[in-house]
Amino acid sequence: MYFQPIMTVNFSDIEAAHQRIKHLIVKTPLLNSPRLDEIAGRKLWIKAEPLQVTGSFKFRGACSAISALTADARERGVLAYSSGNHAQGVALAARLFGTSATIVMPHDAPSNKVANTQALGAEVIRYHRGKESRETIGSTVATERRLSLIKPYDDSMVIAGQGTVGIELAHQITEHDVSASAVLCCCGGGGLSAGIATALAATHPRLSVHTVEPEGFDDTLRSLRLGYRVRNASEQGSICDAIVTPTPGELTFPILKRLAGAGFAVSDQQVLHAMKLAFDTLKLVTEPGGAVALAAALFGAHLPDADELLVIASGGNVDGSTFRKALAIG
């Protein structure tokens, strides 16, 4: 259990998380490319979370959650379910805080993410996505072994950790004299976008945060439009494995409903093209789920009317075959 369990997240929680983990995380850079600006027709500022420890923003939330556990809970160990990025973040954070990690991962998780998770010392339990429930498996194993469950997004301490991206952005906006009025953020369950929206609502309330998802798996876009949570028809069929979730989070959606603007969705082809351009122009390796916000900034329609946009590139743990496919685009 945490020292002070909470059911929502405010800016003070994010500040506290930042104090707990700032010595462990990388303050990732804010990048710009004139070529990307030309394609987008506006200036783009890209927050490069592929350069974060373990290759994605997920390390922030994992460190925040584990650092907030009581000593007894930390000694017993932690459990998480994830397709890969949260898995790697929790595995390394557990090692750094001297505890064990058990990770429930789908059978179709990219092999590099499974291997990296195991290399970090975690026990991996596999399940069949679409046939079995990771939530049920995770809850059962956590109860049987008396482990603390670190959910990938529906966890207040995880959201607070992801919100540290927003704290960094607040400083970088001043450092780079950024005049953007909107942020495009990759979105699965909504932990990153909810955390950033909460942080920026306190520091830059005129900045609107917009979620971006893969076409056909845009549950947050549709939920925001309707005002209540809806589900995706399937959890399989997108190259954006890192951000395919069944429905927006129980904790994250109310935050996004209150603070976020309209959502966007992009095609797999747009995502692959964005991955290639990120590498060609910035030498930044992104995975499909980590490139959807950039894809929207470059190729999306009905974007916020702004001369500058902030774009979150959320992860770079891409397998070789997918990356080669992106680089082969003419």
Catalytic residues: 58, 83
Q: Cα–Cα distance between 248 and 244 in angstroms, integer? A: 10
The burial class, CB within 10 Å (0-12 / 13-18 / 19+), for 19 is exposed
Cβ proximity of 87 and 119 under 8 Å: no
Q: Which of 152, 147, 25, 162 lies closest to 81 in space, CA to CA?
A: 152
Cα torsion angle, 133, 135, 140, 142, sign: positive
Cβ proximity of 288 and 272 under 8 Å: yes
127 beta partners: 106
Enumerate residues 6+ apart whose C-beta is below 8 A from 272: 239, 288, 325, 326, 329
